[in-house]
Structure 1
Amino acid sequence: MVVVGGGVAGLVAALECARVGLRVTLLERRDELGGCVGRIELDGLTLDSGAESFATRGGSVAELLERLGLADDIVDPNPAGAWLVWGRERGLDTRPTPSGATRPAKVDAAPLPKTGMLGIPANPLGDDVRRIIGWGGAWRAYLDRLMPILTIGRAHSLGKLVRSRMGAAVLDRLVTPISAGVYSADPDDLDLDVVAPGLNQAMTRMGSLSGGVADLIEERKAGAAVRGIRGGMHRLVDALVAELARFGVTVITGADVTGLVREQVEARAGEANGGVVEAWRVSAMTVDEQQEPAPFELTAPDVVLAAPAVTSLGLIGEAVDGWDSAAEWPAATSVELVTLVLDAPALAAAPRGTGVLVAAGTPGITAKALTHSTAKWAWLDDDAAGRQVVRLSFGRAGAANPLEGRTDDQVAALALADASAILGVDLDERMLRAAGRTAWRDALSHAALGQRDRVRALEDVVAAEPGLEVTGSWVAGTGLASVVPHAHEAAHRIRHRRVTADGVV
């Protein structure tokens, strides 16, 4: 079989099939495996350049880590929690920071409310909620408790629901920053049943949106946590790659897959069908030692498409006659992460907890979120030996990447100024030991309105094509807790077709 795409989904699918004796070749366009679980080396530290944690729901990621020998290295983050930063309406402070940048004068910050879901408060009049949206916003949100729930019917859009039930302040100050940080999407474009399964039913039971949120929070306390790996999530990729080598999987990096068609090939001895069977022909391209194009082809009875949406949709369009629905899919969002290693003793006190979400339109700040990594993970704080590591996220849904066209030095300067404003601590270039940037150009939210229907239609088309499977976050959902079991299921279907009591067919 052939697996197209070397992200975690592709690695898991390849490993699960190789374990039962299938011959597997994995093709990855980039030079590194792991997709959104990657590493970056800065100032002698090996850091995560993508996902840095996993959700515990379902237990599938923990089970995988146990099988890979990493169970003893699973760790919990600092429970201090995240903060929110937003802008007050009055002007800018023209006093320069030590770096020479102008700081926003009326930027405010507060811990995110503890009792909420996606920013929707369970207690609209709570002190932590009022601190962010004020008395006016809190009383407007409290009207949710007085409005008949039946007047809204079944909600589809997260943003429209919050706006109608609780008002603009909750939507803009609490829900939108979380939607941008988690899903890289506007809440108006998020499918409520995907991002908050069961909330429609809970609202009906409890008679209000806040009551429904409180009900679900109590119900899901045990499954809402995230955990990490001592040393970084990139160790998951290292362990998967080592297992692929142990089971004889052929891995080809730098391979751009250009075509996928089904054809008839000569059957192996003893097979029926008049001496021919149907298989998939995969066309790909690498470059040789002289940097010249080196095309090649592979033929296999099974293909798993685990590449990003733009690649997989193009290949499906070529492979499946009459399927031309790729144009209906939403465009991917461009997200860029900038990691800073700092000599900044003032940050040791974690002045903004383990991370910060930034409300859209906050003056003087370009980033949408910041993770204070050394505050979040005790193992990293130990490794950093007094240094501080922060990671900023740039790029909002529907907007151009604000870092596009900037040099690395310019990006580092902007990230440093943003970190200073977000964390409320003066930071200057003398404190910057190292900076690195990682771009993700193909972030496609599974939670967008209409996306479930598009995915189901695609899955129906693929299910009708023998030996073709599709997996990855763009069809499975956001996060490893969604990606890993989905990849397992794709591999299971292939194993069911190919492995019998008599061996591999």
Structure 2
Amino acid sequence: MDPDAGTDPAATDAAPYDVLVIGGGIAGLVAAREAVHVGLRTLVLEAADVVGGCVRVQEVGGLSVDVGAESFATRTGSVAALLAELGIDDRIVSPNPAGSWLHLPALTGDGAVTVRSPKTSLLGIPASPLAEDVRAVIGTAGAWRAYLDRIRPILTIGPAQRLGPLVRKRMGRKVLDRLVSPLSTGVYSVDADDLDVALVAPGLNAAMTRAGSLSGGVAELRASAPAGAAVQGIRGGMSRLVDALVADIRHFGGEIRTGMSATSLRPTPDGGGEGWLIAATANAGAAAADSPASVDGAQHRALRARRVVVAAPAGVAVPLLAGAREEWAHLADLGWPPAASVEIVTLVLDAPELDSAPRGTGVLVASDTPGVTAKALTHASAKWSWLAERAAAAAEGRNVVRLSYGRVGQPLPTAQLGTEDLEDLALADASAILGVAVTRDQLVASARVVWTDAVSHAAIGQRARVRQVRDAIDSDATIAVVGSWVAGTGLASVIPDARESAQRLRRGALHT
């Protein structure tokens, strides 16, 4: 999954591209596919040496393992529809329904406990506060406090905006700290107090008003949710989607250049109907003879395009847009949050005692849990049957676990660790979380990858910032901006947004 253009840039740069896509993540590839399908001459620039963004596979201990996104939400059907168009919908699989667990500080005394996540909940908010699986997490006193939600009237005028204060007020601190916060920081990398209710739980405010309680609103939304798994994956890993998109783009004549960063974007000075000038630079290590970035020894390229799709992360996209037009300069001064980093550590283990999936498919860890640094663990070979089959074929008792490190507002705890120290930390955390001692002698292989610039669309204030970006950009029919920072977390948000934005551009292209 390391595509190159296979064409001579010296020949192609002389004439403008119809569409140039800055960023080869899923959003960029989807946008490029929309363009090439109607015959538009299209180029994708990707700064990394591979495309796919946070969808990436890595060989670990002889197994192909997702080291980024491993699944997609089924709520819109948009991902499955794209997979069907690409001819790989027969690879869609559902995860093991065993469910997840929580690793938390003990309710009394020191130490930690690991308990099953309540079955009927939304963002950790329980639909039945007195249910046995809820009491196991927050205790009897916490459950009765949460039950007050059912008998206290809703007096607030207008919809709740922040998730944390809403849960704290209606159901108490134990629900917030032990059920909601582990999910908000583990899944969204945002503190619950900073999560926008309307974005992470569409319809919850209205359902709460109808039901007269927060838990009643959760119950209503859960009852109306479509049957089936909330998430699905792809047999062989999510990178199959990347491979299929790349193949389709190339089939229709699109070009992809990796190892090249767009450094500036500005309108062509003479107009002339050619749209945009894009300055691009070959990254360090991209100057090998077979690299499309180094043809004729050029480390800097000037590219022209009639239309541009900015599909880069926020940390790259915002400066490009702010520098593109004088009237967009204010976009850089909207109070964008600093980039966040998360490190994923994958362990391949020969540990037959994990074959029974002692903690289901994964565990979320509360931030104040003693003795554990990770914020989440996924038992990947327990979650996905296709991976379990391949692991078992490699060796009896072989298992794959992934640990996630990095909490909002805190330095990345693994940043300064060498490989051996990181493995020791991950083994210790896995042992504590899984309740099974796993040792270095059982470690077959490990891998690490850091994901940075994960600005969550669900954070308070982000929706308003994105709206200002979109209002400015949408006034220009020759440029679009796509990606998770503007569309929302997950492929189910990113893919339909990228398609819609690209279709707007291509309609303009076909009518000029």
TM-score, normalization by structure 1: 0.92
The equivalent of 1:192 in structure 2 is 197
Distance 1:315 1:305 in 2: 9
Contact 2:56 2:239 in 1 (8 A): yes
**For 1:391-419, what per-residue CA distance to the aligned partner results, in whole angstroms no more than 9, with x for missing partners?**
01111111111101111111111011100
Distance 1:499 1:468 in 2: 15
Distance 2:470 2:331 in 1: 12
- How far 1:226 moved relative to its partner? 0.6
Q: What secondary structure is seen at the aligned counterpart in 2 of 1:301?
A: strand
Q: Which amino acid aligns with 1:49?
A: V
- How far 1:278 moved relative to its partner? 5.0
Distance 2:85 2:226 in 1: 26
| Residue 418 of structure 2 corresponds to residue 407 of structure 1 | yes
Q: Which residue, out of 83, 96, 109, partners 1:65?
A: 83
The equivalent of 1:279 in structure 2 is 275
The equivalent of 2:456 in structure 1 is 445
Farther off after superposition, 403-412 or 118-127: 403-412
The equivalent of 1:330 in structure 2 is 337
The equivalent of 2:13 in structure 1 is none
- How far 1:224 moved relative to its partner? 6.3
Number of matched pairs: 479
| Residue 88 of structure 2 corresponds to residue 81 of structure 1 | no
**For 1:293-339, what per-residue CA distance to the aligned partner results, in whole angstroms no more than 9, with x for missing partners?**
71001111100000000100010010121332323111221111000
Contact 2:101 2:363 in 1 (8 A): yes
Q: Which residue, out of 495, 498, 504, partners 1:484?
A: 495
Q: What secondary structure is seen at the aligned counterpart in 1 of 2:227?
A: helix
| Residue 8 of structure 2 corresponds to residue 2 of structure 1 | no
TM-score, normalization by structure 2: 0.91
Distance 1:346 1:223 in 2: 30
Q: Which residue, out of 391, 404, 410, partners 1:393?
A: 404
The equivalent of 1:236 in structure 2 is 241
Q: Which residue, out of 458, 463, 474, partners 1:463?
A: 474
**For 1:158-192, what per-residue CA distance to the aligned partner results, in whole angstroms no more than 9, with x for missing partners?**
00100011111000000000101210110000000
Distance 1:431 1:300 in 2: 53
Q: What secondary structure is seen at the aligned counterpart in 2 of 1:9?
A: helix
Give the 5 Å matches for 1:86-97: 86-88=104-106
| Residue 38 of structure 2 corresponds to residue 20 of structure 1 | yes
Q: Which residue, out of 339, 343, 346, partners 2:350?
A: 343
Contact 2:107 2:138 in 1 (8 A): no
Q: Which amino acid aligns with 1:4?
A: I
Distance 2:490 2:259 in 1: 25
Q: What secondary structure is seen at the aligned counterpart in 2 of 1:155?
A: coil
Distance 1:38 1:187 in 2: 28
Q: Which amino acid aligns with 2:287?
A: D
The equivalent of 2:186 in structure 1 is 181
**For 1:44-74, what per-residue CA distance to the aligned partner results, in whole angstroms no more than 9, with x for missing partners?**
1111011111111111100111111111111
- How far 1:289 moved relative to its partner? 3.4
Contact 2:142 2:174 in 1 (8 A): yes
Distance 1:157 1:16 in 2: 36
The equivalent of 1:45 in structure 2 is 63
Distance 1:142 1:460 in 2: 43
The equivalent of 1:135 in structure 2 is 140
| Residue 379 of structure 2 corresponds to residue 368 of structure 1 | no
Contact 1:3 1:306 in 2 (8 A): yes
Q: Which amino acid aligns with 1:135?
A: T
| Residue 436 of structure 2 corresponds to residue 436 of structure 1 | no
Distance 1:190 1:279 in 2: 38
Unaligned segments of structure 1, at least 5 residues: 93-105, 267-275
Contact 1:2 1:300 in 2 (8 A): yes
**For 1:210-231, what per-residue CA distance to the aligned partner results, in whole angstroms no more than 9, with x for missing partners?**
0000001111143761111111
Q: Which amino acid aligns with 1:289?
A: A
**For 1:8-29, what per-residue CA distance to the aligned partner results, in whole angstroms no more than 9, with x for missing partners?**
0000000110010000010000
Contact 1:472 1:487 in 2 (8 A): yes
Farther off after superposition, 367-376 or 278-287: 278-287
| Residue 225 of structure 2 corresponds to residue 220 of structure 1 | yes
Contact 1:57 1:223 in 2 (8 A): no
Contact 2:107 2:139 in 1 (8 A): no
Contact 2:274 2:304 in 1 (8 A): no
Farther off after superposition, 345-354 or 66-75: 66-75
Distance 2:507 2:35 in 1: 10
Distance 1:447 1:395 in 2: 18
Q: Which residue, out of 152, 156, 163, partners 1:158?
A: 163
Give the 5 Å matches for 1:417-428: 417-428=428-439
Distance 2:85 2:151 in 1: 51
Distance 2:131 2:250 in 1: 54
Q: Which residue, out of 20, 29, 32, partners 2:50?
A: 32
**For 1:114-167, what per-residue CA distance to the aligned partner results, in whole angstroms no more than 9, with x for missing partners?**
010000000000000000100111111011112111246421000010001111
**For 1:236-292, what per-residue CA distance to the aligned partner results, in whole angstroms no more than 9, with x for missing partners?**
1011111111111111111011100002457xxxxxxxxx32510000101533898
The equivalent of 2:177 in structure 1 is 172
Distance 1:492 1:36 in 2: 23
Q: What secondary structure is seen at the aligned counterpart in 2 of 1:150?
A: coil
Contact 1:159 1:189 in 2 (8 A): yes
Distance 1:398 1:223 in 2: 35
Unaligned segments of structure 2, at least 5 residues: 1-18
The equivalent of 1:107 in structure 2 is 112
**Is the alpha carbon distance of 1:223 and 1:489 closer, same or farther for their aligned partners in structure 2, counting shifts above 3 Å?**
farther
- Taking every aligned residue pair, what percent have the same amino acid on both sides? 56
Distance 2:84 2:74 in 1: 13
**For 1:444-483, what per-residue CA distance to the aligned partner results, in whole angstroms no more than 9, with x for missing partners?**
1000011111111110000122301000000000000000
Q: Which amino acid aligns with 1:260?
A: L
Distance 1:350 1:7 in 2: 33
